Amino acid sequence: MDPGERLTMRHADAIASRPVLSCQALTLSYGATAVIDRLDLAIGAGSITGLIGANGSGKSTLLRGMGRLLKPVSGTVLLDGTPIHAMPTRAVARRLAVLPQNPVAPELITVEELVAQGRTPHQGLLGQWSVADARAVERAIALTDLAAMRARPVDTLSGGQRQRAWIAMILAQETDILLLDEPTTFLDLAHQMEILELLRSLKQQRGATIVVVLHDLNQAARYCDQLVVLGEGRIVAAGPPGEILTEAVVEAAFDVRCRILPDPVTGTPHCIPLERSRNSKVDK
């Protein structure tokens, strides 16, 4: 048994005592190439789960499959125990919001108009705007500090401002489950922390269930309750950061030798990279 197989066996089946979103033998592909291979995963209610792994490990593909943006080749995704692809689109959108990588806004749409699109699943056939819709938009704009930019076209914003506008849109959707693919992309350090603190407060105050793709291992360890480490479309390790974010796991998933030390502020694992692994398959 190689080290990757030993680490895979550490996948914690008890990630969730009450899963609201789960994958069963899930296989996802683009064309003939399988990116996620027969993966089992359960996401517990009221938790933040971080998906981490090297580029090409399947993080974004898994998130797309869980959000019903990509149809499985085999296996299934269950939302509250029901196959998600068998559910009406509006019913899914009232329960689950997805922020994919690099979303594209309609030309000339303003920040406020984009955020308001998050209310679409809650409107009737006539699309009537309600007081509840207006309040949800105002809350989302305030939470993401976009009040001064609400009338600006989205395509005139900086990358970080645009990212916050998209986050505001899914917050306006007011779902219990949020799936976010690299939500801190393009953001400076202060705004990265603001977004991650916001996600934590949504969990604590609303009981939101959040799955987030992150590249920064130390941020993932600090803000996530559970980590799922992916490698070549399979789970390398999964569980609480303090238990599974080890030097062996980092080397297996990223081909990087490191030291894991306690964060001096939070006590969570802090990864200090040392060098590329001697077993790295990447050409130097």
Per-residue confidence (pLDDT) for residue 33, from 0 to 100: 85
Q: Residue 172's closest CA among 227, 113, 255, 238?
A: 113
Measured CA to CA in angstroms, residue 196 lies from 187, 190, 200, 272 at distances of 11, 10, 6, 21
DSSP 121: G
Distance CA 83, CA 23 (A): 10
Tokens 């899930």 sit at which residue?
A: 26
Per-residue confidence (pLDDT) for residue 14, from 0 to 100: 40
Burial 180-211 (b: 16+ CB within 10 A, else e): bbbbbebbeeebbebbbebbbebbeeeebbbb
Per-residue confidence (pLDDT) for residue 4, from 0 to 100: 44
Distance CA 102, CA 183 (A): 10
C-alpha atoms less than 13 angstroms from C-alpha of 69 in its C-beta half-sphere = 16
Do residues 149 and 176 lie in contact, with contact meaning Cβ atoms separated by under 8 Å?
Answer: no
Residue range 3-276 forms a domain whose CATH class is alpha beta
Per-residue confidence (pLDDT) for residue 280, from 0 to 100: 55
Distance CA 179, CA 207 (A): 14
Tokens of 59: 């993080």
Per-residue confidence (pLDDT) for residue 101, from 0 to 100: 87
**pLDDT tens, per residue, the chain with 284 residues:** 344 444 444 444 444 456 899 999 999 999 888 899 999 999 999 999 999 999 999 999 999 999 999 999 999 999 999 999 999 999 999 999 999 988 888 889 999 999 999 999 987 666 688 899 999 999 999 989 999 999 999 999 988 899 999 999 999 999 999 999 999 988 899 889 989 999 999 999 889 999 999 999 999 999 999 999 999 999 999 999 999 999 999 999 999 999 999 999 999 999 999 998 876 554 43
Per-residue confidence (pLDDT) for residue 279, from 0 to 100: 63
Distance CA 66, CA 174 (A): 18
Per-residue confidence (pLDDT) for residue 7, from 0 to 100: 44
Distance CA 116, CA 112 (A): 6
